[in-house]
Amino acid sequence: MNKRTLAISGAAIAALGAAAILLPNANANPDETSGAKTFSSPAAVKLARSLASDLGDNGAGWYYDGANRQLVMNVMDQDSADSVRAQGAVAKVVQNSMAELKAATETLSSDASVPGTAWSIDPVTNKVQVTADRTVTGAKWATLTKATGQMEGTVSVRRSQGEFKKFDGEEAAQPGDNGDNGGTGAGDAAGDAGAAGDAGAAGGAGDAGTGAVGGAGDAGTGGAGDASGGAGDAGTGGAGDAGGGGDAAAGGLDGGDAIFGGGARCSLGFNVSVDGAPGFLTAGHCGNESQTWSSDQAGAQQVGTVQDSQFPESDFALVMYDDATTQASSTVDLQNGSTQEIGRAVEASVGLEVQRSGSTTGVTDGTVTGLNATVNYGNGDIVNGLIQTDVCAEPGDSGGAMFAEDAAVGLTSGGSGDCTQGGETFFQPVTAALEATGAVIGAGDGGAGGGDAAGGAGDAAGGAGDAAGAGNAGSGNAGAGNAGAGDAGAGDAGAAAGAGDTGSDTGQSLN
């Protein structure tokens, strides 16, 4: 055998040896996706819960890979991985069990309770993700790093350029100041009765009077009270007809609309019913600010009274409409002239794509990045069990609705950053708030008359002083054109996109 033959034989043997080493490892690859099926998000959630129940302690969380439409299950051993793959999911063998991750969060709560910090279980990295905002320096940073340093491999720490804060705003800071964010901006230049005077003056519809909620200003042209044919025409009938439902919508707001109380401005989350009576959910730190809430900054149009408010530890409040006949639709204002029907509530899952509607920044979207989050806002305000996301928000958005298609998911609590530079936002799970208050989403829906007034006139998104069209049906002040929280002229109902909404888009699907 010559040297060349020997060299070839040696190379072949080496290659075979390498294959013998690599092939078993390839078969044990914890991220192997061979044979994985694709799932819609709801289908993935359903399968994940079933698999998690079967896996028990051998399961270590899961997440939805939206880019590949795959369900990823974290498991502790190869046998569990095999059973997961048999069901079409991706199996990922990880180091940390769910029990270890939960234990790490408990250690953080006891040893690293530092203002300006937050943490949540991140199944993507199989670690507890700790975030420290820019205020965590000096002794606070030393305390945090000492605690996390003892949990290497289980906890990871990162810095945020922003500062964790609750997203309630002061009344002086009007919704959607320039209308730059989220569609129409919720309540452009609120209080600008200059142009708004037109809303009431046109056609003399300001006194559409007494309850012409959703008055004509909604008439699909976007001009508050200028709805081709004069305020009061609304194209479909007199101001107050609201396509047959304006009056029924009186007082009813949509998720994301502005609410005012105690010098604070927040956002409505979701309309609910309690034993058949209408109410809505918002943030608990908002509920603590005031016992009564109005749809206008001046407080002339009071809509509800707080029945239950939980903050800190949790962050939700139940406000009951003062008028028991209020037809509050189960809808969220998309701030572009349309609304999203909400018929159920679901628990969040990491990877879930969500949207948020709020009275400052309108509608923004993003993804759930962590569960069971704890946030320390300072001054003893520590909230547990939150949903962490990369969705942006700003002051005034507190309490606003986070949703996934037709499902309610969360209520805006707080976070860091803004909608210019981005940031992270935390949400109170809606399912927990419903369970605690006995409230129901989707019941007591007023239908088209309760705020979906097809045709645009009487769109309850303008419930906050509904629709500029008839110059403030609430106060009947046509001259002032006070569309609830503010700018009738801009065609906004102050609280959100109510007045001047393009009615034809009402009820438009998120898809």
Q: List 404's β-bridge partners, or say none.
A: 407
DSSP string, 246-273: TGGGTT---BT-EEEETTEEEE--EEEE
Would you call 315 a catalytic residue per the annotation?
yes
Would you call 180 a catalytic residue per the annotation?
no
Query: Judging by DSSP bridges, how do beta strands 407-418 and 401-404 pair with one another?
Result: antiparallel
Element (DSSP H or E) covering residue 41: helix 41-55
DSSP type of residue 502: B
Would you call 156 a catalytic residue per the annotation?
no
- The phi and psi torsions of 375 (rounded to 5 degrees) equal -125, 130
Token pair in block for residue 65? 């890979």
Token pair in block for residue 245? 């439902």
Q: Which of 285, 314, 333, 359 is catalytic?
A: 285
**C-alpha to C-alpha distance for 181 and 490, rounded to whole angstroms:** 15
Q: Could you give the maximum distance between any two Cα atoms of the chain, in Å?
A: 108
User: How many helices (H) and strands (E) would you count in the chain?
Assistant: 8, 27
Sequence-distant (6+) residues with CB within 8 A of 93 are: 28, 30, 75, 76, 77, 78, 81
Q: Which of 273, 309, 398, 416 is catalytic?
A: 398
Q: Which of 218, 247, 254, 315 is catalytic?
A: 315
Which of these, 311, 400, 385, lies nearest to 354 by C-alpha position? 400
Write out the catalytic residue numbers: 285, 315, 398
